[in-house]
Structure 1
Amino acid sequence: MTVVTAEVPNRPLTLDDVTRIAAADPDHRFELSEGNLLIMPPGTWRHQKISGLLFTWFLTHGYPDQVNVAPGVRTAADDLNGRIPDLVVTTEPIADEIVWLPPDKVALAIEIVSKGSERMDRWLKPVEYAEAGIPLFWRVEPDDTVVQFRLDGNRYGEYGSVPLKDLLDGDVPNLS
């Protein structure tokens, strides 16, 4: 199996490079950390199911033009850092042509923890999202608990924890 069919430059990569590489290899998801390419396989069935449930919940509860699955998000002012949260709710509708969202347009980033992504989803991504100024971060744990965090300075503080089923049975909380 070929992982990347696009030519990869011999230098730190940029978000434009990653966009080009992803276009040549639709079977993987790509993120960028300090110019280093990170390659992830598609999500598991559980992962994709939870992502779909959350997407539908936001879509049908007042965020039809502000929720998307696995969008690119810039995580620094430079062009060397970008992540792909499992789900994002934006502060306003976004133009269809945007590939890498500016972090100030992201109201909530959600990560679904799966085998192989534990450290990234629990420790690395929350730090990057917080430093980028994303106000809210939710993490869905393997036991389907949704742990909710709010930005406090340049780090997140936990403000809630709820079973996914209970979350989906209720209304979408205020995201501002």
Structure 2
Amino acid sequence: MTVVPELPPRPLTLQDVTALAEADELHRFELTEGNLVVMPPHPRRHQIIATRLGVWLLTHGFLDRTTLSTGVRTADDDRNGRTPDIVVAKGDVPPETVWLAAAEVLLAVEVVSPGSERTDRWVKPREYADAGIAHFWRVEPDGTVLRFRLTDGVYTEVGKDPIDALIAGEVPDLS
């Protein structure tokens, strides 16, 4: 049986979401304008893709900078945060990190799964672009990795590869 925690009668903060996540390991949480977004665990296919990409990044020069499912503050307040499937930070990420400022993020990666299509294709890229994250990658259900670079405040596609071809080589330029 799932127990629903008592939530405060106000917009939630990232600290509230952190506490919820510590108490509920069955769900994933994000925050938009203080409104809680609750998501089920990722399907196995999603986990495999995120793990493969994450390991590839970890072993190709981004060891202390790559995290899976670390939160990203998507605004300059405490009421907006997303949890990309993979984050590559501009510098080392301390082990106790829960939420990174968008200014610290070099790359955000989202793996599209049933139920997250619109959010992963349209909503999150816009939020990441507005937050100034330089690179965004989206992995489609067919395993295609679309790579985008922020140019003049919007993402421009700079590459499109099957995941197997991408991880067979070196990491594309993230400068």
Give the alignment's TM-score, normalised by structure 2: 0.97
CA distance in 2, matches of 1:3, 1:154: 42
Distance 1:35 1:144 in 2: 33
Distance 2:141 2:22 in 1: 31
Partners of 1:52 and 1:97 in 2: CA distance: 20
Q: Are positions 1:46 and 2:45 aligned together? A: yes
Q: Map residues 1-150 of structure 1 onto 2, 5 A cutoff.
A: 1-2=1-2, 4=4, 6-150=5-149
1:155 is aligned with what amino acid? Answer: V
> How much has 1:173 moved relative to structure 2?
1.5
Task: Give the paired residue count.
Answer: 175
Segments of structure 1 that go 5 or more residues without pairing to the other structure are: none
Indicate conservation of the 8 Å contact 1:3/1:25, yes or no.
no
Deviation at 1:97, TM superposition (A): 1.9
Which stretch of the first structure deviates more once superposed, 27-36 or 150-159? 150-159
CA contact 1:12–1:36 (8 Å) conserved in 2: yes
Contact residue 70 and residue 97 of structure 2 kept, 8 A: no
What RMSD, in angstroms, separates the aligned Cα atoms of the two structures? 1.0
Runs of 4+ in structure 1 deviating by more than 3 angstroms, as ranges, are none
**What is the CA distance between 1:64 and its match in structure 2?**
0.8
Q: 5+ unaligned residues in a row in structure 2: which ranges?
A: none
Amino acid at match of 2:122: W
Whole-Å separation in 1 of the counterparts to 2:30 and 2:54: 21
Measure the CA separation in 1 of the matches of 2:148 and 2:3: 34
- Residue 96 of structure 1 deviates from its aligned partner by 1.8
* CA offset digits 1:75-115 (Å, max 9, x no partner): 00011100000001111101222211001111000000001
Residues of 2 paired with 1:16 and 1:171: CA distance? 37
Q: Structure 1 CA distance, aligned partners of 2:113 and 2:154?
A: 23
What is the CA–CA distance in structure 2 between the aligned matches of 1:83 and 1:63, rounded to whole Å? 21
Summarize deviations over 1:99-154 as a string: whole Å, max 9, x none: 11001111000000001000000000000000000000000001100011110122
Distance, in Å, in 2 between the alignment partners of 1:76 and 1:84 is 13
CA distance in 2, matches of 1:3, 1:170: 46
